[in-house]
Amino acid sequence: MKNWLRELLRKADADYVEVRLEETVRTSVNFTGPTLEECTQNLSFGGCVRALVKGGWGFTCFNSLDELEKKVKLAVEHARAVGLRRGEDLRLAEVPVVDVAVPFEPVNDPADVPIDRKVETLRAYNDIVLSFDERITTSSARYHDARRKLTFATSEGAWIEREDTDLAVSVAAVVNTPAGTFFARAYNGSSNDYNVVLGLEEEILEKCRDVLDIAAAEPVKGGKYTVILDPALAGVFIHEAFGHLSEADFVYEDPHLQEVMVLGREFGPPELNVADTGLDVGTRGYLPYDDEGVPTERTYLIREGKLVGRLHSRETAAKMGERPTGSARAINYRHPPIPRMRNTVIEAGDVPFDEMVRATEDGLYCLDARGGQTNGELFTFTAADAFVIRDGKIAERVRDVTLTGNVFETLRNIDMIGNDYRLRDSGGGCGKGGQFPLPVSHGSPHVRIRNVVVGGK
């Protein structure tokens, strides 16, 4: 198979061809209220071919591996039709041609955990929520793991075989009141260790207490605030507000944007260091090789407040004369790889959290995220929980806090970076170009930002 496929790709009449073949077994367990709604195991099997001819891309995906030769030809035909109109002499950025079988070395392999135990662990978590207080209306406890076997080959001779795993758990307490329905959620995730699913009892109890208080809280008053973001929310902030802007497919063919995003430009205070890394083994953003066969790395995006890098595919790196960063990712065989984040982090500063709060006369302390979105310049994300800060002290809880702003202004308005860096994997994922949810991670210390617009009454 290996030699046959490599030879097939080498002979293809294209500037570049790659094949990805995948087999994924996904286990899902999902309680809603007292009911086990879902306990399934699905097999996803398929592949894709991507070809490049004169700067034009062709892509085809399929479930049947029969007649793979015809599928390679089809992708090349697609690429040729595009290349004829485009007529571009594009050479992808050069990378080492690897021939490797990447060992998968789990700490506690979810594939070794019987499904009965997964169900019982979730059931126990779910019962904690349902028995906590009669004001809790219902619960949600979700778990998934996905074990994937991946084969990757290119016309350049690259060959990668690897297995990976993604797993996540999320347990929510739900309160339904005349004012609406409110959630608080405990979660965790990993790429190699089922143990992260275990021992969440205390955190779930805390979320049960939180949701009752959130439901009783007043909605936040809209306006401009000084906000302190906790590490979880600051991680989502940097992902939404800056990470997406750093994905080079946003920039590489836009001369105006290249002026805005010129390397060396000052984006934030000198204390601000932002990186995106695939090196953190065990995080959901861990990625030994990207989906173009490029080894992963830690890519600095901002160093001492200045733009120093961006996230590249081989195409965007070639066009911008920069180095590939191992950031081309596809969510599965049904999609071509595009520049994406892995684990996006704000590195630790030196301000203790207590000092940050004491130095904030009026503001909001915002915790955890319920998701975020960006259009490049604008970003918005919703805090899962929030408190008013008054006279340098954390005061009453408020709800329905959605933060928004201009990326460039907001980064400049960061004025304190905490010394308490924390990395936490969420149960969700990142969406871009119809590819959702891609496993990613975030890490950050507490961060303070001035003049953030908060929606509300």
Partner 1 sequence: MTPEKILEKAASASDAAEVYFSRRESLSVSFENNRIKESTSSDLQGTAVRVLKDGRVGFSVSTRPGDGSAADTAVSLARFGKRAGFAFPPQPDVKPFPFDPSHVDGITPERAASECAAAVERLRSLGDGVLAFCGMGKERFSSRILSTAGLDFAVDDGYVQWHCGVTRNVEGDFLTIYDYRIGRVFDGFDALVEKVSEEYRLCSSTEKIKGGKYRVLFTPRALSSLLRVFNDCLSGKAVAKRISPWADRKGERLFDERITYLTDLVSEDAPFRRAVDDEGVPAGRKLLVDRGVLASFYHNLDSAAECGDEPTGHGFRSSVGAQPAPSLFCARLLPGDDSLDDLASGAQLWVEDLLGASMSNSFSGIITGNVSLGFTVKDGARVARVKDAMLSVNVFELFRDAVLGISSTVERHGAALLPYLLLDGVSVSA
Residues 206-245 that bind partner 1 (CB under 8 A): 219, 222-224
The smaller minimum CB distance to partner 1, of residues 209 and 224, is found at 224
Tokens 């998934």, residue? 144
Measured distance CA(56)–CA(79) in Å, rounded: 5
How many C-beta atoms surround the C-beta of residue 321 within 10 A? 7
- What residues from 328 to 347 belong to the interface with partner 1 (CB under 8 A)? 334, 336
Who contacts 205 (Cβ-Cβ below 8 Å, separation ≥6)?
128, 132
Q: Does 266 bind partner 1 (CB under 8 A)?
A: no
Question: Which range, of 82-90, 150-158, 272-280, 339-347, touches partner 1 by CB under 8 A?
Answer: 82-90
Question: Which residue in 16, 57, 125, 159 binds partner 1 (CB under 8 A)?
Answer: 57
Measured distance CA(239)–CA(266) in Å, rounded: 18
Q: How far is the CB of 25 from partner 1 (least distance, A)?
A: 10
Token output for 234:
């600051």
Q: Which amino acid is at 317?
A: A
Q: Does 78 bind partner 1 (CB under 8 A)?
A: yes
Q: How far is the CB of 164 from partner 1 (least distance, A)?
A: 18
Burial class (CB within 10 angstroms; exposed 0-12, middle 13-18, buried 19+) of 429:
middle
- What residues from 128 to 157 belong to the interface with partner 1 (CB under 8 A)? 137-138
The smaller minimum CB distance to partner 1, of residues 37 and 163, is found at 37
Q: How far is the CB of 408 from partner 1 (least distance, A)?
A: 8
Question: Which range, of 71-79, 97-105, 159-167, 299-307, touches partner 1 by CB under 8 A?
Answer: 71-79
Q: Does 115 bind partner 1 (CB under 8 A)?
A: yes
> How far from 160 is each of 2, 43, 61, 282, CA to CA, in Å?
10, 21, 19, 20
Question: Which range, of 7-15, 345-353, 385-393, 448-456, touches partner 1 by CB under 8 A?
Answer: 448-456
The smaller minimum CB distance to partner 1, of residues 51 and 204, is found at 51
The smaller minimum CB distance to partner 1, of residues 199 and 223, is found at 223
The smaller minimum CB distance to partner 1, of residues 316 and 343, is found at 316
Measured distance CA(437)–CA(404) in Å, rounded: 22
The smaller minimum CB distance to partner 1, of residues 45 and 421, is found at 45
How many C-beta atoms surround the C-beta of residue 394 within 10 A? 15
Question: Which residue in 9, 18, 21, 59 binds partner 1 (CB under 8 A)?
Answer: 59
The smaller minimum CB distance to partner 1, of residues 254 and 362, is found at 254
3-state SS class at 56: strand
Question: Which residue in 10, 11, 63, 97 binds partner 1 (CB under 8 A)?
Answer: 63
* DSSP of 227-252: EEE-HHHHHHHHIIIIIHHHBGGGTT
- What residues from 151 to 210 belong to the interface with partner 1 (CB under 8 A)? 174, 176-183
Site map for partner 1, 245-264, x if CB under 8 A? --------xxxxx-xx----
Q: How far is the CB of 49 from partner 1 (least distance, A)?
A: 10
The answer to whether the beta carbons of residues 337 and 293 sit under 8 Å apart is: no
Measured distance CA(135)–CA(416) in Å, rounded: 39
Q: Does 62 bind partner 1 (CB under 8 A)?
A: yes
The smaller minimum CB distance to partner 1, of residues 402 and 413, is found at 402
- What residues from 279 to 318 belong to the interface with partner 1 (CB under 8 A)? none
The answer to whether the beta carbons of residues 276 and 343 sit under 8 Å apart is: yes
> How far from 379 is each of 241, 275, 349, 373, 391, CA to CA, in Å?
6, 19, 23, 6, 28
Site map for partner 1, 16-35, x if CB under 8 A? ----------x--x--xx-x
3-state SS class at 184: strand
Q: Does 428 bind partner 1 (CB under 8 A)?
A: no
Question: Which residue in 86, 149, 162, 298 binds partner 1 (CB under 8 A)?
Answer: 86
The smaller minimum CB distance to partner 1, of residues 132 and 353, is found at 132
> How far from 365 is each of 63, 271, 362, CA to CA, in Å?
48, 21, 10
Site map for partner 1, 370-409, x if CB under 8 A? xxxxxxxxx-xxx----------------xx-x-xxx-x-
Measured distance CA(347)–CA(356) in Å, rounded: 17
The smaller minimum CB distance to partner 1, of residues 44 and 195, is found at 44
* DSSP of 293-309: SPBP-EEEEEETTEE--
> How far from 214 is each of 130, 138, 174, 219, 294, CA to CA, in Å?
17, 15, 10, 9, 45
Query: Residues binding partner 1: what is the number (CB under 8 A)?
Result: 83
